[in-house]
Amino acid sequence: MLKSKLLTGAFIFSLGLGIAPTKAAEFINVLTGGTSGVYYPLGVALSEIYGKGIEGARTQVQATKASVENLNLLQQGNGEIAFALADSVKLGWEGNKEAGFPGKLDKLRAIAAIYPNYIQIVASQESGIKTIADLKGKSLSVGAPASGTELNARTIFKASNMDYKDLGKIEYLPFAESVELIKNRQMNATLQSAGLGVASIRDLATSLPINVVAVPPETVAKIGAPYLSVIIPKDTYEGQTEDVPTAAVGNILVSHEGVSEETAYQMTKLLFDNVDKLAASHAAAKAIKLENAIAGLPIPLHPGAERYYREKGIIK
């Protein structure tokens, strides 16, 4: 009987060894923006790069309302890497409730500063809108409520001594929906914060004549960092015959402290090893430079990203 019990025990023990859990697959959820913006195609490309380059990784791309939602999701652990505007990241780190953050987002960690977002105000030519002042009494879409784009809109209006009350009508819509309303003569203009050549504005410009509205350098200077005065080069959009000044804000790839150091290291390394593949998905990625990766970050680097930058000599 004793021998039988010992054999049974040994068998059960061996079964236990046989069903020891294997290491769970790495899951990487890439938080982007609306499907007609720049974040989404870049996120799809990044997801494919991580899926192939990180052993055992399973990746997913999530379309969102972009910066503000992405940062709140990261704080909750509902995502591993996200695209966000630098000013939104700063406000999230500070816990600015007016900007849409319930409290200080203290778990955020930076992966890299990437390309700039251009504040692009575009109106139908027939609306007669050529300047920001011309928007008074007209209809404008400013992006999803409390999105990074909408925060940019508020900032530009304040620096221009205007507010939403000066408009005839305001809509809080994603890029593609805003463009459809303009095409259908139900909206005069749209403000979109995105990389140059964003698909939604390209679509609008091929559908009807447009005016690209200037944000003068003196207006941008009133705002200050992290806003910069930049140029939308002529011929960026069909029918745009002149350079147009506007404001730009840098984009940041953000993670959180719950992501392992090794995963964050691999995400950072693969980003810079594959800039050409990202640029093939959208031209905005051509502006991603390793030498600018830690410039102007308003939050701490993830230790995994920091390790990569030390290896590359970006951090001494």
For residue 242, being part of any structural domain is answered with yes
Q: Decide if 88 is inside a domain.
A: yes
More confident residue, 97 or 1: 97
The verdict on residue 15 lying in a domain is: no
pLDDT of residue 16: 44
Structural tokens at position 5: 């019990």
**Integer angstrom CA distances of residue 132 from 121, 144, 207:** 9, 20, 23
- Asked if residue 5 has pLDDT above 60, the reply is no
Is 30 within the bounds of a domain? Answer: yes
Enclosing domain of residue 279:
26-115+251-311
> Would you say residue 11 lies in a domain?
no
Q: Is there a single domain that holds both residue 146 and residue 58?
A: no
Q: What pLDDT score does 7 carry?
A: 43
If one counts every other C-beta atom within 10 angstroms of the C-beta of residue 199, the result is 18
Mean pLDDT of the chain: 91
> First CA to last CA across the chain, in angstroms?
69
Same domain, 62 and 158: no
The answer to whether residues 107 and 176 belong to one domain is: no
Same domain, 278 and 297: yes
**Cβ(134)–Cβ(197) below 8 Å:** no
Residue 243 forms part of a structural domain: yes
Residue 97: pLDDT band (50, 70, 90) is very high
State pLDDT tens for residues 109-164.
999 999 999 999 999 999 999 999 999 999 999 998 878 899 999 999 999 999 99
7-51: per-residue pLDDT in tens? Answer: 444 444 334 444 434 445 689 999 999 898 899 999 999 999 999
Query: Do 110 and 257 lie in a common domain?
Result: yes
CATH number, domain with residue 305: 3.40.190.10
- Overall pTM > 0.75: yes
In a domain, 294, yes or no: yes
The residues, ordered by sequence, that sit 6+ positions from 50 with a Cβ below 8 Å of its Cβ are: 28, 30, 57, 59, 266, 267, 270
pLDDT for res 24? 55
Residues 205 and 268 in one domain: no
Cβ-proximal residues to 152 (8 Å cutoff; 6+ apart), any chain:
85, 87, 117, 119, 143, 191, 193, 247, 249
Q: Give the count of domains, the chain.
A: 2
Q: Are residues 307 and 203 in the same domain?
A: no
